[in-house]
A and B are shown apart, each in its own frame.
Chain A
C-alpha cells in the first residue's frame, strides 16, 4: 500500500464520516437479532434434540462464529458492489480521480483498504455482541475472530471490486447478490455443519470460499482448530485476495483508462 492509494482511502473516510452512525447501529443490531432469533429461539429446539451432531456445543455457540464470517462477507460484498459501480457509472469519484496524478490501481487499493476497514469494524461489533452473550472464551479468541472474519470479508471484496468496476447495469449487481452471495450464505455451513450434507455435495461446500471463513472462525471460537486445516483455510482466503488484486489491477486500468 502506498501514498496515492491512501488518498482514495481518505476520500472514502471523509464520506463515511457522514454515514458511520447508521452503519454502527446496523453492525450491532444485526448480530443481536440473529443471535436472539436463531440462537435463542431456534437454538432451543436444536439443543433439545441432542447436541451430539454439533460436537457437544449449544447451537448458538455453533452458529455465532459461522454467522460472523457470513455477515462480514455480506457487508464486504455490499461495499464492493454498489459504491464501486456508482464511482464509475454514477456521479462517482473515479472519473474525477483518474484526471489527477493517481493511477487506476491506486484507486483499487485505496477502495479495498476502506472495505477492509468496514469489514474489520463490523466484525468487531459482531464479536462485541458475542462477548455480551458470553460466546467468546477470551479476549485473545475474540481478536483472532475479528481477524479471521475481516480476512474472509477482504477475500470476497478483492475479486468483487475487480469485477464491479466493469459492470454496466445495476441489475448485474443484484444478480450477483441473489445467485452468488445468498447461496453461499445459506449453504457454506453457516447454519449447519456441512458434514450433514449428502456426501456427493460435500466437496462442493468445501470448494466454496465462504466455507473456509466459516470453518476458520468456528474452529477459533470453539477451540477445535487443527493446525493443518487452519493453514489450508488461511491459504485459500489469502489466495482469493491475491487473485482479486491481480485481476483488479487489469480491470481498473482497462475500465478507467479505456
Chain B
C-alpha cells in the first residue's frame, strides 16, 4: 500500500491497562497489572522483562484476548479485544508458557488439530503442517507421539503450531524457560528467522540475556507497573554505568566493605554473596580497591547488563 500512515504501523497499543483478579468469589481483588501503557510497531521485537509475578503473563493474556481487561484501553491490530476477540485471535499466534500440546497425538496431528480450530481447510492445513515441521526441524518426528519428544522439541513444535494461521503478531510467554543452553540458542535462531520474515514478536522473559538478544525495545515491569521503557542498550546507558566490578568478601563482610569503598564507585549494591561497584572503568576501580588493601576473595570486571538495570530500578535481582 502506497499510503501507509504511521498509525497503521502500530499493531499494539495500550493505555492505562489494568487487570484485577479474584481468587475466589469472596476474596479481595488482586491487581496483577496496574495501569500500564505501551505501543508496538509492525516488525518490532518487543519484550516484557520482569521477575515472576510482575504482571507479564497477565498482560500477555489480555493481548491474546483470553482475559478481558479490568480497565483501560487496549487495541490489537486496530481492534478492541472486548468486541472482536475471535477476529484478533485468528490473526495472532500464541506460544504459552506451559506446554499445551496433546501428548497422545502425533507431532503432525497436533498441528492439524490446531489449524482446524482456526477453521482452516483440511487440505491447506496439511500443506502448512509439512512446511512448519520443516521449519521446526521435526519432519522426521512427524508421526511419533508428542510424549516421546524432548523439551526443546516440544517448544519448537509449540512455536510451529502457533504459526499455522500465518499470524501477524507472535506472543511468546517465557519461550526458553526450562530449556538447556543449547536448546535455547537453537530456539533463538528460529525466532530471529521469524523476525526477519516480518512477524512482530512480543515476548516476556526473566532472562536478561534473552531480552538483550531478542528485543529491539523492552519494558521493565515490577509489581504490575512499567518502571522503564527503552532499547536494551538505552536502558543500560540510562540506568547503569558501562561497567560493573563484582567483589566477593567473607560472608557478612559485604556491607562493611561497601561503606569503605563507596567513594570509588558511582553507586554500590550489596547482594548476599557479592558487592557490586558501578563504574565507568572497572579495571581502574579494581586497582584502587586493591591499593586500599581491601583484599576481596574474588573479583570480576564485566559489562553492565539488564540485570543491573533491574537492580537499580527495583533494588532486587530478577531471578531469586
Give the CA-CA distance A4 to B98 in the complex, in Å. Answer: 24
Q: A201 interface residue, CB < 8 Å from B?
A: no
Known contacts A18-B104, A91-B102, A96-B100, A101 near B86 by CB under 8 Å: yes
Asked whether A101 lies within 8 Å of B66 as measured between CB atoms, the reply is no
Give the CA-CA distance A11 to B99 in the complex, in Å. Answer: 18
Q: Which of B67, B89, B98, B105 contacts A258 (CB 8 A)?
A: B67
Q: A10 interface residue, CB < 8 Å from B?
A: yes
Kindly list chain A residues whose C-beta atoms are within 8 Å of the C-beta of B168: none
Asked whether B66 lies within 8 Å of A99 as measured between CB atoms, the reply is yes
Kindly list chain B residues whose C-beta atoms are within 8 Å of the C-beta of A93: 100, 102, 113
Most buried by B among A99, A101, A257: A99
Asked whether A11 lies within 8 Å of B116 as measured between CB atoms, the reply is yes
Q: Which residue of B lies closest to A3 (CB)?
A: B119
Q: How many residues of B contact A (CB 8 A)?
A: 29
Q: Mark A189-217 against chain B: 1 for CB-CB distance below 8 A, else 0.
A: 00000000000000000000000000000
Asked whether A258 lies within 8 Å of B90 as measured between CB atoms, the reply is no
Q: A54 interface residue, CB < 8 Å from B?
A: no
Asked whether B105 lies within 8 Å of A101 as measured between CB atoms, the reply is no
Kindly list chain B residues whose C-beta atoms are within 8 Å of the C-beta of A257: 66-68, 85
A to B contact number (C-beta, < 8 Å): 67
Asked whether A91 lies within 8 Å of B100 as measured between CB atoms, the reply is yes
The smallest C-beta distance from A199 to any residue of chain B, in angstroms, reads 40
Q: Which residue of A lies closest to B65 (CB)?
A: A257
Q: Mark A71-111 against chain B: 1 for CB-CB distance below 8 A, else 0.
A: 00000000000000000000111011111111100000000
Asked whether A256 lies within 8 Å of B103 as measured between CB atoms, the reply is no
Give the CA-CA distance A14 to B105 in the complex, in Å. Answer: 9
Asked whether A101 lies within 8 Å of B102 as measured between CB atoms, the reply is no
Asked whether A101 lies within 8 Å of B87 as measured between CB atoms, the reply is yes
Asked whether A98 lies within 8 Å of B66 as measured between CB atoms, the reply is yes
The smallest C-beta distance from B165 to any residue of chain A, in angstroms, reads 8
Asked whether B117 lies within 8 Å of A100 as measured between CB atoms, the reply is yes
Q: B221 interface residue, CB < 8 Å from A?
A: no
Q: Which residue of A lies closest to B100 (CB)?
A: A96
Q: B163 interface residue, CB < 8 Å from A?
A: no
Known contacts A93-B102, A96-B100, A257-B67, A101 near B116 by CB under 8 Å: no
Q: B208 interface residue, CB < 8 Å from A?
A: no
Q: A48 interface residue, CB < 8 Å from B?
A: no
Q: Mark A2-13 against chain B: 1 for CB-CB distance below 8 A, else 0.
A: 011001101100
Asked whether B94 lies within 8 Å of A99 as measured between CB atoms, the reply is yes
Q: Mark A143-173 against chain B: 1 for CB-CB distance below 8 A, else 0.
A: 0000000000000000000000000000000
Q: A15 interface residue, CB < 8 Å from B?
A: yes
Kindly list chain A residues whose C-beta atoms are within 8 Å of the C-beta of B109: 14
Q: Which residue of B lies closest to A98 (CB)?
A: B66
Asked whether B101 lies within 8 Å of A91 as measured between CB atoms, the reply is yes
Q: B38 interface residue, CB < 8 Å from A?
A: no
The smallest C-beta distance from A96 to any residue of chain B, in angstroms, reads 4
Q: Which of A15, A102, A258 contacts B104 (CB 8 A)?
A: A15
Give the CA-CA distance A101 to B101 in the complex, in Å. Answer: 17
The smallest C-beta distance from B16 to any residue of chain A, in angstroms, reads 20
Asked whether B105 lies within 8 Å of A95 as measured between CB atoms, the reply is no
Q: Which residues of B, 96-139, contact A by the 8 Å Cβ criterion?
A: 96, 98-105, 109, 113-114, 116-119
Q: Which residues of A contact B (CB under 8 A)?
A: 3-4, 7-8, 10-11, 14-15, 18, 91-93, 95-103, 256-258
For the complex of A and B, list the 5 residue pairs with the smallest distance between their C-beta atoms, beginning with the closest: A96-B100, A100-B117, A99-B94, A101-B90, A101-B86
Other 12 A-B pairs with CB < 8 A, given A91-B103, A102-B86 = A4-B119, A11-B116, A15-B104, A91-B101, A93-B100, A96-B96, A96-B101, A100-B89, A100-B117, A100-B165, A103-B85, A257-B85
Report 16 cross-chain contacts, Cβ distance below 8 Å, ordered by A residue.
Answer: A4-B119, A10-B116, A11-B113, A15-B102, A15-B105, A96-B114, A99-B94, A100-B89, A100-B114, A101-B87, A101-B90, A101-B118, A102-B86, A257-B66, A257-B68, A258-B67
